Amino acid sequence: MSLAILWFIVLALLWCGFLFLEGFDFGVGMLHDFVGANDLERRVAINTIGPVWDGNEVWLIVAGAGMFAAFPEWYATMFSGFYVALVLLLVALIIRGVSFEFRAQLDNAGWHWLWDAAMTLGSFLIPLLVGVALGNLVRGVPIDAHHEYTGTFFTLLNPYSLFVGLTVLLLCLVHGATFLALKTKGPVQDRAEQVGGWLAPVAALFVIGFAIWTPAMAGHAARAVVPVVAALAALAAVWFIRVRRNGWAFLATAVAMLATGATIFVFLYPHVMVSSTNAAYSLTVSNASSSSYTLKVMTVVTAIFFPIVLIYQGWTFYVFRRRIDVGDVQGGSAGGQAPEAATPGASPAG
């Protein structure tokens, strides 16, 4: 196996890891307003991902930088070609990224509303845009002989890619719901189970559609086993949510998410970007990659650091394994300076 192929796999793993980990972060971000009837409950929801979301987002950063290092052509073509979409993605990442810390700094209902809205909007937009971008890689976009993208922003908004975007978005919602059900107690958990129950069948339908559409469009019937796994896992999630097996439900949405991400890369290979202009102009694992020396350096560095990262990230999840409820967030904000007046709101509606 050439190093370029190895790096294609590493990048696929990074993207899948990002979808799996940030997937529930986005879900929590979208749902926190819904599962929390008052400020304390919303904070419970946010704090389930509080210690980990920033570390989870680094998977995206490393995936991007890894593309730059291992496949400069891919990085250059995709990032310049998808310019407008990426500006939108950055705006979403920014407003959501600052919302966690900014929200906690002022105890004011209007202020909380503003940053709850930013968190929700950002958490919606990111998986949608990422899904659309990944869909376009497989579907193909106009690329000329010089590896330059010749389409516009609206070229990206084709039916298949929008469908992938919605599939990823729905999966993030369900994944977030199963995560919340697993990590909280009381009314927040109840509502998370409820919303998961509503959304899981819809998400499963989309994943099934994705599992049919992708091989139908891209060929490679044998590779369809991966999206079939995704569809089965999505169906399993429907069942486990219904019987309220929180752990199994989360595992099922995790597998569905991982397999959906993997589908993109399995059907993409040996390309990294398909040209719809002319198949000969497509970017491939071999024509877009860095020199073997660079790949060798990157491989050594990754072999050393990646296991260490996995260990300490895993340890973080272990440290914060406990379910939380309003008792945990009462009287302490990120500042921890002046305990806010802990006044649980009226009885939770719903």
Partner 1 sequence: MGVSQIDLARLQFAATSIYHFLFVPVTIGLAFLVAILQTAWHRRGDEDYLRLTRFFGTLLLINVAVGVVTGLVQEFQFGMAWSSYSRFVGDVFGAPLAIEGLAAFFLESTFLGLWIFGWGRLPKGVHLATIWLVALGTVLSAAFIMAANSWMQHPVGYQINAQSGRAQLTSIWAVLTNPLFLWAYGHVLLAALVTGGALMLAVSAWHLRRRSDAPAFRKTARIALLVLVPATFLAMIVGSELGVSGDHYQPMKIAAGEALWNTAQPASFTLFQIGGYTATDPTPSFAIKVPHLLSVLATNSWNGKVVGMNAIQAQYQQRYGPGDYRPNVFIAFWSIRGMAYLAGLVFLLALWGVWLLRRKTIEQSTWFLRLAVWAVLIPFLMNTLGWILTENGRQPWIVQGLQLTRNGVSPTVSATVLGLSIAVFVLLYGAMALVDAVLMIRFARRPLGPTPQLDEHDVPVPAMSY
Distance CA 81, CA 156 (A): 10
Closer to partner 1 by Cβ: residue 151 or 209: 151
Q: Mention every residue, 6+ apart, whose C-beta is less than 8 A from residue 319.
A: 51
Q: Is 77 in the site for partner 1 (CB under 8 A)?
A: yes
Site for partner 1 (CB under 8 A): which residue of 291, 341, 347, 349? 291
Q: Is 24 in the site for partner 1 (CB under 8 A)?
A: no
DSSP-derived secondary structure for 131-168:
HHHHHHHHH-B-B-TTS-B---TGGG--HHHHHHHHHH
Site for partner 1 (CB under 8 A): which residue of 269, 328, 344, 345? 328
Q: Is 97 in the site for partner 1 (CB under 8 A)?
A: yes
Closer to partner 1 by Cβ: residue 194 or 330: 330
Closer to partner 1 by Cβ: residue 112 or 223: 112
- Each residue 26-45 as x (binds partner 1 by CB under 8 A) or -, in order, gives -----------------x--
Q: Is 312 in the site for partner 1 (CB under 8 A)?
A: yes
Q: In 3-state terms, what secondary structure has residue 2?
A: coil
What is the CB-side half-sphere exposure of residue 78 using CA atoms within 13 A?
Answer: 26
Q: What are φ and ψ of residue 21, in 5° steps?
A: -80, -50
Distance CA 118, CA 48 (A): 18
Closer to partner 1 by Cβ: residue 244 or 278: 278
Site for partner 1 (CB under 8 A): which residue of 110, 243, 322, 349? 322
Q: Which stretch binds partner 1 (CB under 8 A): 130-138, 244-252, 256-264, 292-300?
A: 292-300
Surface-to-core class of residue 344, CB atoms within 10 Å of its CB (0-12 exposed, 13-18 middle, 19+ buried)? middle
- Each residue 214-253 as x (binds partner 1 by CB under 8 A) or -, in order, gives ----------------------------------------
Q: Is 157 in the site for partner 1 (CB under 8 A)?
A: no
Q: Is 189 in the site for partner 1 (CB under 8 A)?
A: no
- Give the ranges where the chain is alpha helix by DSSP (H): 3-35, 39-49, 53-70, 72-81, 83-105, 109-139, 159-183, 186-218, 225-242, 246-268, 292-319, 326-329
Asked if residues 200 and 252 have their Cβ atoms less than 8 Å apart, the reply is no
Q: Is 113 in the site for partner 1 (CB under 8 A)?
A: no
Site for partner 1 (CB under 8 A): which residue of 8, 20, 24, 149? 149
Closer to partner 1 by Cβ: residue 110 or 336: 336
Which residues within the stretch 46-75 sit at the binding site for partner 1 (CB under 8 A)?
Answer: 46-47, 50-55, 57-58, 61-62, 64-73, 75
Distance CA 267, CA 221 (A): 10
Q: Tell the smallest beta-carbon distance from residue 97 to partner 1 (Å).
A: 4
Q: What is the dihedral of CA 231, 216, 218, 8, to 10 degrees?
A: 10
